[in-house]
């Protein structure tokens, strides 16, 4: 048991190291991602100010811009990772190695979260400085707990989707494209989710970032009165989603390994 745990942690560390430092080699990538997030965020801030909305809407948009890089990392950095490992010829080596497959994706998630945090904090900093947004820092501990629960649930979703995207082969890229825009809307990145219809709001509640972002807005923006649910209930749901998605993701990865050994292939059909 001790050897298995040590192997898991070593694999996690090795995969996280590549994700953290590998993407920092090209400074222009970091600058472009921060600038892109800032300008998108600025568009919505000025839109709400033009419409005469209060300062709480500017804070709502800045928090949305802060969480967006994490969602993009989950979708493109985790969910499609196994598919791209297969395309590059690395997946076979991962499957035959003694290292557990979940450790690769957990390490990828941890490294991606740390690397993405740098970009997200930069977007948050420029949003606060340029748009002069104020948050209730007295409730920062509660916000950090909700943020951590959101990340666990989001990256659990990414790990679960990684097996699904791998199974569908070349359709993975198109699937990710199809999923991204509806999720952007349902998660309420730049508007209150409460404005959605009851049916759409119920579907949106299944997306971890929707509840996490809504809870953070309620905690850090006291004047924000457009919450979907009380942030405490949203934190409980996020905890449940995190546990459920971790179980589903682990089961899906074991199913991938079983299929590879049984059928000598990993996709829905020969490609």
Which residues neighbour 220 within 8 Å (Cβ) at sequence distance 6 or greater? 59, 63, 135, 136, 139, 140, 143
Distance (Å, rounded) from C-alpha 264 to C-alpha 132?
A: 57
Task: Look at residue 270 in the predicted model and tell me its pLDDT.
Answer: 43
Q: What DSSP state is assigned to residue 194?
A: G
Of the pLDDT bands very low, low, confident and very high (cuts 50, 70, 90), residue 95 is confident
More confident position, 17 or 176: 17
Q: What is the pLDDT of residues 40-83, one digit of tens each?
A: 888 899 989 898 888 888 888 999 888 888 888 887 777 777 77
More confident position, 96 or 229: 229
Mean pLDDT of 21-40: 72
Mean of the per-residue pLDDT values of the chain? 81
Nearest Cα to Cα of residue 3 among 106, 100, 109, 95: 100
More confident position, 70 or 27: 70
Long-range contacts of the stretch 50-57 (C-beta < 8 A, 24+): 54/223, 55/133, 55/134, 55/223, 56/221, 56/223, 56/224, 56/225
Which residues neighbour 248 within 8 Å (Cβ) at sequence distance 6 or greater? 156, 160
Residue 6 pLDDT exceeds 90: no
More confident position, 174 or 240: 240
Residue 237 pLDDT exceeds 90: yes
More confident position, 83 or 239: 239
Of the pLDDT bands very low, low, confident and very high (cuts 50, 70, 90), residue 28 is confident
> Three-state SS for 261?
helix
Of 43-52, 96-105, 164-173, 197-206, the range with the highest mean pLDDT is: 43-52
Task: Look at residue 26 in the predicted model and tell me its pLDDT.
Answer: 65
Q: What is the pLDDT of residues 121-154, one digit of tens each?
A: 888 888 888 888 888 888 889 999 999 999 999 8
More confident position, 15 or 240: 240
């Amino acid at each position: 048991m001790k050897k298995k745990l040590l192997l898991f942690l070593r694999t996690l560390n090795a995969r996280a190291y590549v994700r953290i430092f590998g993407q920092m080699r090209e400074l222009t990538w970091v600058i472009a991602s921060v600038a892109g997030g800032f300008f998108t965020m600025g568009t919505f801030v000025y839109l709400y100010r033009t419409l005469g909305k209060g300062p709480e809407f500017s804070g709502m948009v800045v928090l949305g811009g802060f969480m967006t890089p994490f969602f993009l990392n989950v979708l493109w950095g985790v969910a499609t990772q196994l598919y791209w490992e297969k395309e590059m010829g690395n997946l076979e080596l991962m499957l035959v190695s003694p290292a557990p497959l979940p450790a690769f994706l957990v390490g990828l998630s941890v490294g991606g979260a740390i690397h993405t945090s740098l970009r997200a904090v930069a977007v948050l900093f420029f949003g606060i400085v340029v748009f002069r947004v104020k948050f209730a820092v007295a409730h920062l501990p509660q916000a950090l707990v909700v943020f951590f629960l959101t990340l666990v649930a989001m990256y659990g979703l990414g790990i679960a989707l990684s097996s699904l995207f791998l199974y569908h082969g070349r359709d993975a890229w198109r699937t990710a494209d199809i999923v991204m825009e509806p999720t952007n809307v349902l998660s309420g990145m730049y508007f209150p989710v409460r404005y959605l219809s009851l049916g759409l709001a119920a579907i949106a509640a299944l997306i971890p970032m929707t509840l996490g972002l809504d809870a953070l807005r309620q905690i850090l923006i006291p004047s924000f009165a457009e919450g979907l649910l009380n942030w405490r209930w949203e934190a409980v749901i996020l905890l449940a989603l995190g546990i459920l998605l971790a179980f589903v993701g682990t089961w899906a990865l074991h199913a991938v390994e079983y299929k590879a050994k049984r059928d000598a292939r990993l996709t829905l059909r020969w490609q």
